[in-house]
């Protein structure tokens, strides 16, 4: 279904509750101060879209192209993304401070390459079966995160809080044990051995 099938048009200052948007194309446009609560977005193109001071609460994105979208002063809480293309997003541009109790985001089977989470508090974030190549997680607080089966090739971890994070079946987790916080973190055996080899420990049978 195309955008013409949607009953509500996405425009500036829209206040929307429990609506479904399918096939909407806002590529490269700007949207100001729109608010979405319990809304679903399916097969939408928001690539390079500039969301200014928008809010997404309890929303769901499925099979959407969100690459390089701009999120200046926008807010997200308890929103999940499934099978979405999300390259090159700077999540640091969001307004996290105005959310008294920001609920975790969830990414499942998404492409997150070249994205930036530097210094963010994202406790219990879910990033499952994703591709997170060259993603910046430095100085982030990611306690209790679920990173199962995600590819972290080239991802940056430094002074990152990963206590009790679950990396089961994750790959390319090149995380320096000396500069990160990993107490209680769960790794598959092969990845755990790679972590030890990374700090010069010699392993023998």
Spans of all domains in the chain: 11-99, 104-205
CA–CA distance, 147 with 115 (Å, rounded to integer): 15
What does the pLDDT profile of the chain (205 residues) look like in tens digits?
344 456 789 999 999 999 999 999 999 999 999 999 999 999 999 999 999 999 999 999 999 999 999 999 999 989 999 999 999 999 999 998 865 555 689 999 999 999 999 999 999 999 999 999 999 999 999 999 999 999 999 999 999 999 999 999 999 998 998 999 999 999 988 787 777 766 566 656 6
From residue 84, alpha-carbon distances to 99, 107, 192 in Å are 24, 8, 29
Cβ burial 148-183 (10 Å sphere, 16+ → b, else e): bbbbbeebbbeebbbbbbbbeebeebebeeeebbbe
Cβ–Cβ < 8 Å for 190, 170: no
- Class of the CATH domain delimited by 104-205: mainly beta
Any idea of the CA torsion for 120, 192, 147, 49, to the nearest 10 degrees?
60
Fold held by 11-99: Pectate Lyase C-like (2.160.20)
The half-sphere exposure of 3 on its side-chain side, counting CA atoms within 13 A, is 10
């Amino acid at each position: 279904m195309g955008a013409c099938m949607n009953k509500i048009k996405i425009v500036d200052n829209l206040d929307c509750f429990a609506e479904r948007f399918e096939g909407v194309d806002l590529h490269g446009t700007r949207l100001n101060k729109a608010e979405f609560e319990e809304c679903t977005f399916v097969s939408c193109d928001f690539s390079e879209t500039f969301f200014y001071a928008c809010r997404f609460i309890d929303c769901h994105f499925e099979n959407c192209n969100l690459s390089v979208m701009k999120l200046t002063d926008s807010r997200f809480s308890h929103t999940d993304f499934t099978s979405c293309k999300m390259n090159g997003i700077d999540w640091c541009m969001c307004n996290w401070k105005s959310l008294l109790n920001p609920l975790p985001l969830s990414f499942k089977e998404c492409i997150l390459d070249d994205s930036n989470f530097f210094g963010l508090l994202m406790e219990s974030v879910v990033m499952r079966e994703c591709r997170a190549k060259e993603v910046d997680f430095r100085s982030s607080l990611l306690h209790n995160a679920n990173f199962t089966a995600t590819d972290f090739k080239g991802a940056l971890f430094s002074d990152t809080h990963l206590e009790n994070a679950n990396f089961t079946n994750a790959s390319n987790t090149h995380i320096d044990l000396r500069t990160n916080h990993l107490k209680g973190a769960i790794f598959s055996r092969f990845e755990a051995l790679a972590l030890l080899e990374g700090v010069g420990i010699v392993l023998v049978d």
